[in-house]
Structure 1
């Protein structure tokens, strides 16, 4: 044990680098163990294609318009609680939440789970990981037709 402390004293930068790597590794293990319901981009595409998962993008509008997953619903994190009714019709389908890096979407996953959505996943690494995996994105705003169709379908289901 004395050698460990001597090493720390003699090599503070190397020890700090070791600490940072160990912390990042622990976080990756936590997320990949399913404790955070995280999906890698390839796993997300399988859920979208095989299980008809819906993607909810919780970034701000300016981020969303720069590039988002095709057919993703846009509900900024700050508006999520007030717009949960928009997701009611997807309650029985897997919901994949995305943001820029996976941090805001992790918060959104917690909000959705607290409101009774059980089949919810965080896109690990967010849209940045999606881009790095060379997966397709769409640019621009969510179409008004999509927003209106969601509202009309929701109203007709509740009537």
Structure 2
């Protein structure tokens, strides 16, 4: 009986210990971040390549619209997946680690939201309008502006994290 009681009491302690991991080493954090961002970049590259291959000089505006919406929606989805993965990571165990983590998460949220807004705008365009391509250009300009306005995680202020990002294989 006593043994069972000790076992029952140890389970919550193990659970608390596992949940109490509030930080990761700089190296482990960089590995996780690059392990998330690599597939994100690859997916966006694949989507871009697919759209470029599908939109030919003789493509109809409707085809161009469909392919662009597919590209931008896919980029929004990839950004959302990457965002959710990074949001689950604990902060790196460096000075200002929580702020660094929040900057990475916010940058992906900005990308996700910018792509989502652009997909909605592109989806609402009339492909038969005479100014269709001008409107597409305006949407893409707004997308670039919104994307660029987000936080810039490349301006890390942590020597440990810079070194980790420079040395872990996943980040090359």
TM-score by length of 2: 0.26
Q: Larger C-alpha radius of gyration, 1 or 2?
A: 2
Higher RCO (Cα < 8 Å, 6 or more apart): 2
**Of Structure 1 and Structure 2, which has the larger fraction of its residues in strand?**
1
TM-score of the superposition, structure 1-length normalised? 0.27
Higher helix share: 2
